[in-house]
Amino acid sequence: MLANLLVDQEQADEALRVLRAHGNRGGRITAYRLAWLLAERERLQELRTRADNSDEITATRMA
């Protein structure tokens, strides 16, 4: 997955951009990876916003 390669190359912000673009289309694996990376990067406000907008995977990650 491109996002994993970007994270490995210390380009987490670019990985988040890629994941956001694909995560909004409903792919569960991508949504999980996005939630995980947001939590890892301490992007808590975005996690809360996604959870509030009925993103079940993000809500689970926050629990």
- The mean per-residue pLDDT over the stretch 51-60 comes to 72
Percent of the chain with pLDDT over 90: 10
Classify residue 13 by burial, with Cβ atoms within 10 Å: 0-12, 13-18, 19+: exposed
**Alpha-carbon span 9 to 63, nearest angstrom:** 29
Domain ranges of the chain: 2-62
**Alpha-carbon span 38 to 3, nearest angstrom:** 12
Q: End-to-end distance of the chain based on CA atoms, in angstroms?
A: 26
Q: Is the pLDDT of residue 62 over 80?
A: no
Q: Is the pLDDT of residue 45 over 90?
A: yes
For residue 43, what pLDDT is reported? 92
For residue 24, what pLDDT is reported? 65
For residue 59, what pLDDT is reported? 65
For residue 29, what pLDDT is reported? 84
Q: What are phi and psi of 34, to 5 degrees?
A: -65, -50
